[in-house]
Structure 1
Amino acid sequence: MTTAALEPRAGRRCQNMLNSLHSTLYFAPETGEELGALGITHPKAVNFAVRAAAMGAVGAGAVTAAFYNYKHEAVARHVPAVWSVASPEAVLAARARAVDRSLRRLLGEEAVASAEITEAARLALRAIEGCSRGARPLYSAHADLPVPDQPHLAYFHATTLLREHRGDGHLAVLMAAELDGLEAMVTHTATGKGMTPKWVFVTRGWSQEDWDAARGRLRERGLLDETGELTPEGVALRQEIEAETDRLDAAPYRRLGAEGVARLTELGAGFARTAAMAGAFPADLLGKA
């Protein structure tokens, strides 16, 4: 086992690169096409199904709890009804087809067949050996899935596991900070690194009225000012949240070691950059506007 010390935030930087490629799934037209062929056509139903399918035919409550920042009423409009249209097993198979098609389009056939993606898959899968299941429902559900044989799909599988491992821990930190799902998104957007309100409304089911109410609660706590910017207390809280999330998510990157993390970050950044340049994400996805 590797025990080399990591630079501060090394694991976070690595995971950010891996998550950038993983997140392409939710914006890829191939995802809608493959699930549409199963009869799942509403964009929110597609989103809930592809991410929740690993947990089985769960109800709206389980999805809202595990996803955290979605409006429960938006979830309940599609879950558990979506499982009467297609089983979780069928959705997972469709998701794999969508990932295969979208990565070939975004990265190119040469990259998909490259030694670099094989190396990235090997490193990411080694990191997963340091993950833990306790209190991590989305990670644990995905950890039950088999590792695909093809390197680009194995890499995507590993990025999913590392994303959900960090995400599950992050939710525990948000709860400890007494931020509900929408308040967490408002504060993240205020950093300039989160989704714009437009995309929060489109993807998470919240309204402008909900957003404004959350901002009001955060102003009462002294975390936002009257213009919607983070106060010094708000900035400090977001920094504490990320630092504590780093602590809870450190084990897989310790397992990989400093050299392995640096190499995986380098490879992941290259794949993420290629995907972004190929138009993987909407231009107005991130920011404060």
Structure 2
Amino acid sequence: MTTTQPASEATAQPAPDTLPEHAGRKCHNVLNPLHSALYFSPDLAAELTALGLTNRAGYFAGRAAALGAVGPGAVAATFYNFKYELVAEHLPALWSTVSPAQVLRARLSAADTTLRRLLGEETVASAEMAEAAQLALEATRGCTPHARPLYAAHADLPVPQEPHLALWHAATLLREHRGDGHLAVLLDEELDGLEAVVSHTASGKGMNRTWVMSTRGWDESEWAAAEGRLRDRGLLDAEGTLTEAGVAMRQRVEERTDRLDRAPYAHLGAAGVARLTELGTAFTRQALAAGAFPADLFGAR
């Protein structure tokens, strides 16, 4: 069963200036894995394979289904760092195999199975899970849809009643809200999709180069060309490491993204954000310990 409105109406709203620095980013960083683990889950792969979707087609369908039966242009634009030609190999053709509604049902079913497997039935049924879901949904009340297509599309979806799925849904909204704002900042920094991901990988905080190229569709020559453009701007050195200016640029990107993503966490308030971060940290640690992500996913290489 689903409901179209978050459950909480009673959360106190402290003044926005009480929110500690980077509190929203920290909260996002511990909630986002609860959403993104799904893309590495064998449960999602099984659900989508049963619908006739395999490999990258499943990812594109799973993340884009909320937008409707869109073509490669909309997906390449909103996902930002995928090569257009890779997206066009799968879209719009896959929509002749499945409908967005089918994919959304499969995705939610896989989220259920995945969270139960990674967190265990006791955690899924806990009072802490229900509390986290209520807090996260309250935070989403502060989100705004303007110029945020992936967030806005997901915000139109019904909210599941089951607390662990409601938390997953809220984590999805908060992820896409931050992500849409992040793309605006990258665009203003004059970073194209590949330059953005090359500089993020060089920071040591993004997916490593092997994973990026295998999942995003870029090849060695394109990666090298992007590195060259960043070197010309003084952002990378000859070894592909961020220069001082490059480090400053990545810090500026995150800080400006924080500013554009402040509203949901200011709405929830400092105490609520602190508690949601505490709960999300515990859940994400459980998920990571259960093998939610490949061991070689992050790092420069």
Structure 1 and Structure 2 fold alike (TM over 0.5): yes
- Give 1:203's aligned amino acid: T
Per-residue CA distance 1:59-78 (angstroms, 9 max, x = gap)? 10000011001000000000
Pick from 218, 224, 229 the counterpart of residue 206 of structure 1: 218
Partner residue, 1:247: 259
Counterpart selection for 1:178 from 170, 180, 190: 190
What is the CA distance between 1:2 and its match in structure 2? Answer: 2.8
Q: Match of 1:138?
A: 150
**How far apart, in 2, do the equivalents of 1:116 and 1:128 lie?**
18
Q: Which of 41, 51, 68 matches 1:38?
A: 51
Match of 1:7 in 2: 20
For residues 161 and 223 of structure 1, the distance between their equivalents in structure 2, rounded to whole angstroms, comes to: 32
Q: CA deviation at 1:118?
A: 0.5
Instruction: Provide the identity percentage.
Output: 65
- How big is the alpha-carbon RMSD for the aligned residues of Structure 1 and Structure 2? 0.7
Q: How does 1:18-33 map to 2 (within 5 A)?
A: 18-33=31-46
Gaps of 5+ in 2: 1-12
Amino acid at match of 1:264: L
Corresponding residue number in structure 2 for 1:216? 228
* Aligned: 1:129 with 2:144: no
Moved over 6 A (4+): none
Matches within 5 A, 1:90-239: 90-239=102-251
Q: TM-score, structure 1 length as denominator?
A: 0.99
Cα offset for 1:156? 0.1
1:281 counterpart letter in structure 2 = F
Letter in 2 for 1:17: V
CA distance in 1, matches of 2:166, 2:217: 32
Distance in 1 (alpha carbons) for counterparts of 2:97 and 2:283: 34
Superposed CA offset, 1:179-207 (max 9, x none): 01111111111111100011101211111
Work out the CA distance in 2 between the residues paired with 1:3 and 1:62: 37
2:270 is the alignment partner of 1:275: no
Structure 1 position 177, deviation (Å): 0.1
* Distance in 1 (alpha carbons) for counterparts of 2:282 and 2:295: 19
Give the deviation of 1:6 after TM superposition. 1.1
Give TM-score, length-normalised by structure 2.
Answer: 0.95
**Which amino acid letter does the alignment assign opposite residue 187 of structure 1?**
S
Q: For 1:206 and 1:23, how far apart are their aligned partners in 2?
A: 21
SS at match of 1:263: helix
Shift of 1:151: 0.5
**What is the match of residue 277 of structure 2?**
265
> How many positions carry a matched residue from both structures?
288
Question: Which amino acid is 2:62 matched to?
Answer: V
Counterparts of 1:208 and 1:265, CA distance in 2: 38
Q: In 1, Cα distance between the equivalents of 2:214 and 2:278?
A: 32
- 1:48 partnered with 2:74: no
**d(CA) in 2 for partners of 1:143, 1:270:** 26
The one-letter amino acid of 1:48's match is F
Q: Structure 1: 5+ residue runs without aligned partners?
A: none
Q: Distance in 1 between matches of 2:145 and 2:239?
A: 41
> Which sits farther off after the overlay, 93-102 or 198-207?
198-207
